[in-house]
Structure 1
Amino acid sequence: MSAATNLPAEARAALAAFSACNGWEQRARLLMQWSERLPALTDEERCEANRVQGCESSVWLVAGRSGSRLQFRASSDARLLRGLLALLLLRIDGLSEAELAAVDVTDWFAQLGLGRQLSPSRSSGLNAVLQRIRELASETYP
């Protein structure tokens, strides 16, 4: 469980919450609750330039800065995907470019007990989001 200690604090809290669930139905309800945590993007932010390529559903990703840290916000038309995005953003919050490179989406969602529910296309889409995050981070920290 030492890997969990390397997680951002909110990611550890999410891991604890999902670990306490008894089965998929509870995890699905919790995932829907997490989808509500994503702050809404403005109509201007939901533009083609911010759209993540490689996702079946529409996903928009916006990068910003808070001091020296990059911060990401994301949204999707699909509620389930918004929950998954919220959990992905918790996992990468505050990470350096090198730490971002080491993030394994499949492993993260498996730790949360959501791995078996990720279809190949959804998993591929989440990897596309992570790849875009890495690109934006490298543009910010050349």
Structure 2
Amino acid sequence: MTEPLISLEQLLQKFSDNRSWDKQYRLIIQLGKKLPVLDESEKTEANQVKGCESIAWCVVEQHAAVFHFKMDSDTRVVKGLMMILLIIFQDKTGQQIKDVDIDSLFEKLGLLSHLSPSRANGLLAIVERIKAAESNHGNH
């Protein structure tokens, strides 16, 4: 059984308590260690996220009206960023996903200003996949 995710408020608090990029970077690595392991059978090309410099996978499942995401990457930092996305988007309805102001959240976390352009693009590519899942599945 995977441990419950911390709340978005707790995440924002942790980042605001650790203002320096060094501390935030360590926080991202720690979060990555909590990312649930993705089964090897789900590491397929169809689940691979294009636009990431590192190899990254995102599996989208829908149970009733709620979306569940499983993710993995070959790098620790990307795993940490994925964990942040899970905290933001996991087990939300399509409407809740649509309502997330991800740019504002990333700004509050101070993420994009410290990530390399390719890593930021990869992070945004995963967000695109999550938002696309809502619109692709939301019509059923």
Class of the TM-score when normalised by the shorter of the 2 chains: 0.7 to 0.9
2-structure distance, mates of 1:44, 1:89: 20
Match of 1:5 in 2: none
Q: For structure 2, which runs of at least 5 residues remain unmatched after alignment?
A: none
Distance 2:114 2:66 in 1: 32
- Of residues 87, 91, 115 in structure 1, which corresponds to 2:88? 91
Distance 1:123 1:24, change over 3 A: same
Q: Give matches, 1:49-68, under 5 Å.
A: 49-68=46-65
Q: Aligned pair count?
A: 135
Cα gap change, 1:82 to 1:26, in 2 (>3 Å):
same
Equivalent residue, structure 2, for 1:3: none
CA contact (8 A) 1:105 1:127 kept: no
- SS of structure 2 residue aligned to 1:40: coil
Relative to the length of structure 2, the TM-score reads: 0.84
Does 2:19 match 1:28?
Answer: no
> CA RMSD of the aligned region, Å?
2.1
SS in 1 for 2:61: strand
1:114-136 deviation per Cα after TM superposition (whole angstroms, max 9, x unaligned): 23212222222111111111222
The share of aligned pairs that are identical, in percent, is 34
Partner secondary structure for residue 8 of structure 2: helix
The 3 A distance-change label for structure 1 pair 55 and 41 is same
Gaps of 5+ in 1: 1-7
- Superposed CA deviations along residues 66-102 of structure 1, whole A, max 9, x for unmatched, are 5541110111101111101110121122333233234
CA contact (8 A) 1:106 1:115 kept: no
Q: Does structure 1 conserve the Cα–Cα contact (< 8 Å) formed by 2:58 and 2:69? A: yes
Are the equivalent residues in 1 in contact too, given 2:12–2:108 (CA < 8 A)? yes
